[in-house]
Amino acid sequence: MTLAVLVAISVMWVPLAIFLLGKGEGKSTGVVCGMVGTLVIIGAMLQAAVFKDGFVAGLLFAHGLLYLTTSYALVSGVEDGLKTNANVSLTVAFISLIYAILFFTGGPVLEGGKRLLESSNYFGFACLGYVVLTLEVWGFGYGKCSAGLLAWSLILWAFIGLYVPAFWLFTSGTLPF
């Protein structure tokens, strides 16, 4: 489920990046962000309820809500919508950082030496990329990061943080590292 959601997220990131590079239009890009945000929220609910994976669901929920606020800011055209979106993005950056640490370490050791989470260097690395992206969104909302930097980061990270883990796992059942 999560792998399909990663592919779907790219359907938002790449068009949003192209829009930030000056091609496209805000409202229709906002609609795409809203559709992907809704799909990510649904995917998070399924991940938690059906696949009994509240851990990954939490990360999906946080990002899905960010995508919905991005959608609202673009569709509504509200003047300070980017600042609200930036504030949500800063919160998601903190959440992604916690996930990165937990993915790298495998989380706390429980009674009997068991862990609820297996460590994954690749997902830890991907979450660090999400931290950088969401900090760039935060900076963009406050005029501290250029649209071009954010756009190229979204395009680059669509490959590294979305396509590689999704398609590598789809085809080989493992991650690159």
- pTM metric for this prediction: 0.93
Two tokens, residue 106: 């495998």
Q: What is the pLDDT of residue 134?
A: 98
Q: What is the mean pLDDT of residues 77-90?
A: 88
pLDDT of 80 > 80? The answer is: no
| Per-residue confidence band for 40, with pLDDT thresholds at 50, 70 and 90 | very high
Q: Which of 46-50, 51-55, 93-97, 106-110 has the lowest mean pLDDT?
A: 106-110
pLDDT of 108 > 90? The answer is: no
> What does the alpha-carbon distance between residue 99 and residue 106 come to, in Å, rounded to a whole number?
10
